[in-house]
Structure 1
């Protein structure tokens, strides 16, 4: 765990996925070969020729608060457009409890954006109904993101199968009165605030924790792999607004390097977080020494 002021930072893993190198359309064999030395084995699997992608929740705990940042993919969800998450059974909830986190004691859930691998454990299946997994938690989401995913609004023109995420993982939270809509730049608690990181998703938000001269930035999917620290113009094929995603990434890298901020992305391999250092006119990724 890492300590920032009164908050401890930890993580609970849901699943490790193989990600094809086609994640980055610009990636060629020569560039991959030049970076294998530091990518393997934590970020790239040589034998299978794939990136390793983590799906997990970040946990912020203090004496008075238990906060979950993103809720992974979820179990039993109907995801025909995302076969890796379709009807999954991951054991995540048991690992969460084993980490000492009682779902009923969680008082805040921050949803950085509403892609399927970030909201799935908002709800769990109880009989034939989707019910809140964290029934006493305020769930925080971007107003722009919710509007973009709502089948009655921004998502109306998308395939009906894409509406499942909203219907099984967002709508039940709304119906339970647990969702708080934000603009994405609010202070939530002393030392904990939101900041906008759009591009990968329209209303995507980061979470900033600052205390005692230390800064941690949970940056969601601004980067999917640490290779993007060295090649910040590369977007993943999942980024919805490619130009805006590049602008956001450039801003975050510059800010992290200037502030010496700890970056905690959503999908990096172990040790899952690190720092951005300037290296001439480029950046390099420096993993943390503490395994999270």
Structure 2
């Protein structure tokens, strides 16, 4: 598994990101965060946008596809991006033609962007030989939300999702238990109505692509904090609670979309709750 980071930086005001924000609770949590996950000088959480590449036998699988380049978005840092994601992708040794599966956890704009690339005056599938696995419930919700104006993210559904359907490359995840030959499907509603997680196992070890159950490690210490972007607040809380329990019990490597370096780690039971153990050395000191 390889993390392909599109960007990361001190971008999110915690008081904006978490409507239930409490400063004293936050300061207690910050002392437990890995180094580099919070920038105290600017009071910003360090947040990443990343894609996960999985090599499993002959399968070459991407989990989510970031923001993409050159796309009009309402969030300034995502608008008409020109990142080095293609160069990082090429450095893995894979090509746009070698990817066999593209898996969506949900349909927010920062997860679908590299589904397509500019081809003249239109957007064409980036991975022409891949099956794109789309959560059907999420697809239906976002399709309706873009048509009736509930979503105004600059047109990500039109430029990064609909072209895949039009090209006949989409397969919808409904009640399947496994996709792409190795990924176990788990419902994770709340952040979006049809968000999914994907679990995998290799040589007795487990890992999970946890999508946006968390935007920052601070939510492991403050699990009752949803983000401002969570569509179904009650479901988001219930999903996070259940996920924390399962991740701690299984010892799975947790691979979210938005954690700062090293971008993944383990959830451990701790007194009165849970803690986060980074998956690489050098990140265990307090933030600062």
Aligned length: 280
2:2 to 2, 6, 10: 10
Provide structure 2 residue ranges, at least 5 long, that are not aligned to the other structure: 283-288
Q: Which has the higher contact order (CA 8 A, sep 6+)?
A: 2
Question: What is aligned with 1:32?
Answer: 26
Is the Cα contact below 8 Å between 1:184 and 1:205 reproduced in 2? no
Instruction: Find out whether 1:56 has 2:50 as its counterpart.
Output: yes
How far residue 210 of structure 1 moved from its aligned partner, in angstroms, is 1.1
2:234 to 221, 238, 243: 243
Counterparts in 2 of 1:1-292, with a 5 A limit?
A: 9-17=1-9, 18-22=11-15, 23-39=17-33, 41-79=35-73, 81-150=74-143, 153-158=144-149, 161-162=152-153, 164-183=155-174, 185-289=176-280
Distance in 1 separating the partners of 2:140 and 2:169: 17
**Superposition RMSD in Å:** 1.8
Residues 234-270 of structure 1, C-alpha deviations (whole Å, 9 max, x = no match) = 1011111111000000110111111111111110111
Question: What is aligned with 1:6?
Answer: none
How far residue 33 of structure 1 moved from its aligned partner, in angstroms, is 2.5
Question: What is aligned with 1:5?
Answer: none
Residues 109-147 of structure 1, C-alpha deviations (whole Å, 9 max, x = no match) = 001000000000000112211011111110001111111
Distance in 1 separating the partners of 2:129 and 2:274: 41
Distance in 1 separating the partners of 2:3 and 2:81: 20
Question: What is aligned with 1:3?
Answer: none
How far residue 189 of structure 1 moved from its aligned partner, in angstroms, is 4.3
Provide structure 1 residue ranges, at least 5 long, that are not aligned to the other structure: 1-8
Residues 135-175 of structure 1, C-alpha deviations (whole Å, 9 max, x = no match) = 1110001111111111xx34432257447111100111111
Residues 48-107 of structure 1, C-alpha deviations (whole Å, 9 max, x = no match) = 21001100101101341110000000111111x322211111121121112212111000
**Matched residue of 1:120: which SS?**
helix
CA spacing shift, 1:155–1:135, aligned 2, 3 Å: same
Is the Cα contact below 8 Å between 2:105 and 2:197 reproduced in 1? yes
Is the Cα contact below 8 Å between 1:184 and 1:195 reproduced in 2? no
Is the Cα contact below 8 Å between 1:232 and 1:250 reproduced in 2? yes
How far residue 280 of structure 1 moved from its aligned partner, in angstroms, is 2.6
What is the TM-score when the length of structure 1 is the normalising length? 0.90
Distance in 1 separating the partners of 2:207 and 2:175: 17
Residues 9-47 of structure 1, C-alpha deviations (whole Å, 9 max, x = no match) = 111110114111121123333223323333363210122
